[in-house]
Structure 1
């Protein structure tokens, strides 16, 4: 199975610069194929939540993040994930007992990362970018909405 790391290594071999590849684990469907540099992962208009994300980068010196869940919020334990360049990082959970993602925090070690999220009943939210090497949350409003994440587009 191709992961985000496999895809980002292929893209980096073809094209210099910064790249991000990712794939979504969609409820009732499993892992999708990886996409890169702003392409859409997940589904739109099918009411299918994203349970987990697999992310890998090149040209950023690594990526860090955490997934927030509709019911559990930030999971306890080892919440923050990180990965060096060309290595898979996972956010969320594929376990059936864990609720879908409602959003995530993300940052790259160098430069910025710019996700856009599609949330149930809200559609595509405005794309945002981190400040260099700073955290930022993307997705459903954790304080009031608690809506599932359904699709993402991410650039670096």
Structure 2
């Protein structure tokens, strides 16, 4: 008889335990399956500078080099502004979004960049420092870069090619200024960027 009572007691405890596991709790539901932590935000790392980009920046310390991560293409390679000619990154006429942008310079004071990204809004600002290059935007998440802010202590100009808009007007900063290109709140991607140091 004692064995039968212990059997029912054990069965009752197992039944209560299973019931407790499957009952909903405030703010969600309990389950036997573990809950996966939210995916961390992808950190974009700037690709290594090409030898040509390093040489150009050694020759002219005002040079700004850019490298765009483009939808279905990936990183395009470093392009540098030279002799008052702009560095052009991205594509025109192919309807491919810019997803990330790397910037490198040896200019006094460097350059700070901030991206407005689809579904994220404005990311935090990143500045070139001793490392010399920074990357903004996202990689591997298929999110468009919609706007870009650049700030510097020395003059800098930028121009964005925006989906369904085309090339916007050239925006230039004076000394310690900030420029913004692209659009906010219109769900339009930047497809190409010109930077002129």
TM-score (norm 1): 0.84
Q: RCO greater where, 1 or 2, for CA within 8 Å and sep 6 or more?
A: 1
Aligned to 2:189: 148
Deviation of 1:103 after TM superposition, in Å, equals: 1.3
- CA gap of 1:36–1:50, structure 2 versus 1, over 3 A, is same
1:86 deviates by: 6.2
Q: 1:88 and 2:136 equivalent?
A: no
Is the contact between residue 66 and residue 105 of structure 1 (CA under 8 Å) also seen in structure 2?
A: yes
Uncovered stretches (5+) of structure 1, i.e. residues with no partner: none
The alignment partner of 1:47 has SS state of: coil
Change (3 A) 1:2 1:85: same
TM-score (norm 2): 0.68
**Contact 1:56/1:85 (<8 A) preserved:** no
Deviation at 1:96, TM superposition (A): 1.2
Q: Which has the higher helix share?
A: 2
Residues 92-107 of structure 1: pairs in structure 2 closer than 5 A: 92-96=137-141, 99-107=143-151
In the alignment, what sits opposite 2:115? 67
User: 1:17, CA displacement in angstroms?
Assistant: 4.4
Larger radius of gyration: 2
- Equivalent residue number for residue 114 of structure 1: 157
Q: CA RMSD in A?
A: 2.1
Pick the aligned partner of 1:42 from 73, 90, 94. 90
Match of residue 129 from structure 1: 172
From the superposition, tell whether residues 91 and 31 of structure 1 become closer, same or farther in structure 2 (CA, over 3 Å): same
Give the counterpart of 1:16 among 60, 69, 79: 60
Distance (whole Å) between structure 2 residues aligned to residue 106 and residue 6 of structure 1: 25
CA separation of 1:86 and 1:21: change in aligned 2, threshold 3 A: farther
Deviation of residue 44 (structure 1)?
A: 0.4
Distance 1:42 1:122 in 2: 15
Deviation by residue 1:9-36 (Cα, 9 ceiling, x = unmatched): 31023x3341100010001211001101
